Amino acid sequence: MHQDEPRAEAQDEPRTRILDAADKLFYDRGIQSVGMDELRTAAGVSLKRLYGCFPSKNDLVAAYLDRRDTRWRTALTAYVTQHAATLEDCPSAVFDWLHAWFATPDFRGCAFINSFGELGATSQAVTSAARRHKEALLDYLTELARDLGVREPALLGGQLALLVNGAITTAAISGSPDAARDAGAAARALVAAGR
Amino acid sequence: MHQDEPRAEAQDEPRTRILDAADKLFYDRGIQSVGMDELRTAAGVSLKRLYGCFPSKNDLVAAYLDRRDTRWRTALTAYVTQHAATLEDCPSAVFDWLHAWFATPDFRGCAFINSFGELGATSQAVTSAARRHKEALLDYLTELARDLGVREPALLGGQLALLVNGAITTAAISGSPDAARDAGAAARALVAAGR
DNA sequence: TTTCCTGGAGAACGTTCGTTCTCTAGGCTA
DNA sequence: TAGCCTAGAGAACGAACGTTCTCCAGGAAA
């Protein structure tokens, strides 16, 4: 007799396996480059079950982006709250986390920017997912700016978001994580100037 | 008898029409979403001539990116040299030009970032085209920083590039050109701090 | 007029994709 | 054991893609 997993986990284990495979493949190679058949193979799941969990590829893409949004922002905020000793250290911690991400071997830019560039013109769902993600990032950074007691928190928050997005795309295209350092320095200068 | 165009122009008129159609369609909807047949129709050219000018879609994509690179950077530098009264005005002029671009009705982000997100993982040609484009932009901004007599021109140039790329992606996803204003203000603050 | 060459229109080919359908094996209930 | 339901494996389908091929009209050359 084999060991049984807990009920709830076993229940959506296929769904999780599919999402794991989608996350890896879609992020690595882009959405249109990955077929449902390859996805099925990677997830180790039958086509019937794949379409049972996600009625269409669009649904799977939406779920992929949704899960990636929460995971990415959770990882960022967790790192910042854990590694920033003081409030003043928070902006630097953001870019430290980015630097570590950029140095990851399979880093390939922002999934939302990539998806938007690929499908934004044809898929309203992708566009709004990207918009929600970037708005949530902006909200977080604006809140951070507000906590810093800066003169115009909305302005600084927006500028930090520009630096984050610029660093991500630059690091992806250049293939080097250095952009995070320049961005961090710029962020510190902007915070200092905004007081 | 109809009027004859000049020889050289008539010679590659089909090529130009193809590139014009490719520029519009690829930029508007992404590369993989546009088929060669639709391109042929938009260019008003036979399939035979299309494949005579560009032996494969990859070649057309490369030519599309190449022409867009030179046009984009030419337009930027022309605007800056024309609208910046003093050297100090140059950074602001860069972001003024971006703002005007963002407000264009068919603005849809950076063609190179979009192409990279879509095909960077599968096409070495697209990756290196994007890399060359961003490096050329970085060189221009670094030169600009050097002319401003700043302490670390390479650092400031890189930071201006981050702001430019961040503003482009943010404007594209948010659908608003406001990012250019925040980026311009950040650029001025960074220039002032770098002296 | 006949022949030859160019180029256009679009049919055709082979592949790939998203999605559905068929067939079958195996486990549960009676 | 007999009947039934589930789910897996993968064939099948219709559409779309990149690319090539066929056919034919029309102009230049002799």
What was the pLDDT predicted at B163? 98
Same domain (yes/no): B69, B18: no
Query: Mean pLDDT across chain B, nearest whole number?
Result: 94
Q: What is the extent of the structural domain holding A113?
A: 65-193
* Nucleotides of strand D under 7 angstroms from a protein beta carbon: 7-11, 16-22
Residue–nucleotide distance: A47 CA to D13 C1' (Å) = 15
Phi/psi at A3 (5° precision): -75, 135
Strand C within 7 A of A154 CB: no
Of A55, A77, A98, the one marking the end of a domain is A55
Distance (Å, whole) CA A15 – CA B186? 44
Output the CA–CA distances (angstroms, integers) from residue B137 to A36, B30, B128, in the order listed. Answer: 38, 22, 14
Q: Give the residue carrying structure tokens 């972001």.
A: B95
> In a mutagenesis test of the B interface, which of A94, A112, A113 is the best target, namely the one with the most B β-carbons within 10 Å?
A113
pLDDT (mean) for B158-166? 98
**Residue B28 is encoded by which pair of tokens?**
């508007």
Flag if A28 and B119 touch (Cβ within 8 Å).
Answer: no
Return the SS3 of A38.
helix
> In a mutagenesis test of the A interface, which of B38, B99, B159 is the best target, namely the one with the most A β-carbons within 10 Å?
B159
Q: How many CA atoms lie within 13 A of B34 on its CB side?
A: 26
Question: Residues of A numbered 46-85 whose beta carbons fall under 8 angstroms of chain B's beta carbons: which are they?
Answer: none
Residue–nucleotide distance: B47 CA to D25 C1' (Å) = 17
Strand C within 7 A of A149 CB: no
What was the pLDDT predicted at A129? 98
Distance (Å, whole) CA B57 – CA B65? 12
Number of H helices, E strands in chain B: 10, 0
What was the pLDDT predicted at A92? 98
Residue range A45-54, pLDDT digits in tens: 999 999 999 9
CATH of the domain at B48: 1.10.10.60
For residues B62-97, one letter each, b for 16 or more C-beta atoms within 10 angstroms of the residue's C-beta and e for the rest, the string is bbbbeebbeebeeebeebbeeebeeeeebbbbbbbb
Longest dimension (CA), chain A: 66
Name the packing angle between helices B124-147 and B153-174 (round to 10°): 120
A84 falls within a domain: yes
Distance (Å, whole) CA B188 – CA B53? 46
* Nucleotides of strand C under 7 angstroms from a protein beta carbon: 7-11, 16-22
A132–chain B Cβ distance below 8 A for any pair: no
What was the pLDDT predicted at A13? 86
Same domain (yes/no): B67, B114: yes
Using the 8-state DSSP alphabet, how is residue B103 labeled? T
Q: Are A135 and A179 in contact (CB under 8 A)?
A: no
Q: Check whether B4 has a pLDDT greater than 70.
A: no
Percent of chain A clearing pLDDT 70 (strictly above): 94
Chain B residue numbers touching A173 (CB-CB < 8 A) = 112-113, 116, 120, 127, 130-131, 134
Phi/psi at A86 (5° precision): -120, 170
SS3 content of chain B, % helix, strand, coil (to 5): 75, 0, 25
> Considering CB atoms only, which of B172, B190, B194 is closest to A116?
B172
Same domain (yes/no): B101, B185: yes
Same domain (yes/no): A19, A73: no
Same domain (yes/no): B138, B81: yes
Same domain (yes/no): A15, A82: no
What was the pLDDT predicted at A10? 44
Per-10-residue mean pLDDT, chain A, length 195: 38 87 98 97 95 97 98 98 97 98 98 97 97 98 97 98 98 98 98 94
**Residue B177 is encoded by which pair of tokens?**
């050109």
What was the pLDDT predicted at A182? 98
Same domain (yes/no): B146, B166: yes
A60 falls within a domain: no
A126 falls within a domain: yes
CATH of the domain at B123: 1.10.357.10
Chain A residue numbers touching B170 (CB-CB < 8 A) = 134, 161-162, 165
Angle in degrees, CA B34, B29, B69, rounded to 5: 95
Using the 8-state DSSP alphabet, how is residue B89 labeled? G
Same domain (yes/no): B91, B49: no
Same domain (yes/no): A40, A74: no
Residue range B75-133, pLDDT digits in tens: 999 999 999 999 999 999 999 999 999 999 999 999 999 999 999 999 999 999 999 99
Distance (Å, whole) CA B145 – CA A116? 32
Q: Give the residue carrying structure tokens 């002032």.
A: B192
Same domain (yes/no): B47, B137: no
Distance (Å, whole) CA B115 – CA A86? 40
Same domain (yes/no): A36, A95: no
What was the pLDDT predicted at B9? 42
Residue range B42-51, pLDDT digits in tens: 999 999 999 9
**Residue B108 is encoded by which pair of tokens?**
């849809």
Specify which residue's alpha carbon is closest to the C1' of nucleotide D19: B56
Distance (Å, whole) CA B57 – CA B164? 30
Q: Check whether B10 has a pLDDT greater than 90.
A: no
Residue–nucleotide distance: B44 CA to D22 C1' (Å) = 21
B151–chain A Cβ distance below 8 A for any pair: no
Which nucleotide is at minimal CA–C1' distance from A32?
C17
- Alpha-carbon torsion (A171, A174, A176, A178), positive or negative: negative
What is the number of domains present in chain A?
Answer: 2
Chain B residue numbers touching A121 (CB-CB < 8 A) = 28-30, 33, 108
What was the pLDDT predicted at B5? 39
Same domain (yes/no): B79, B150: yes
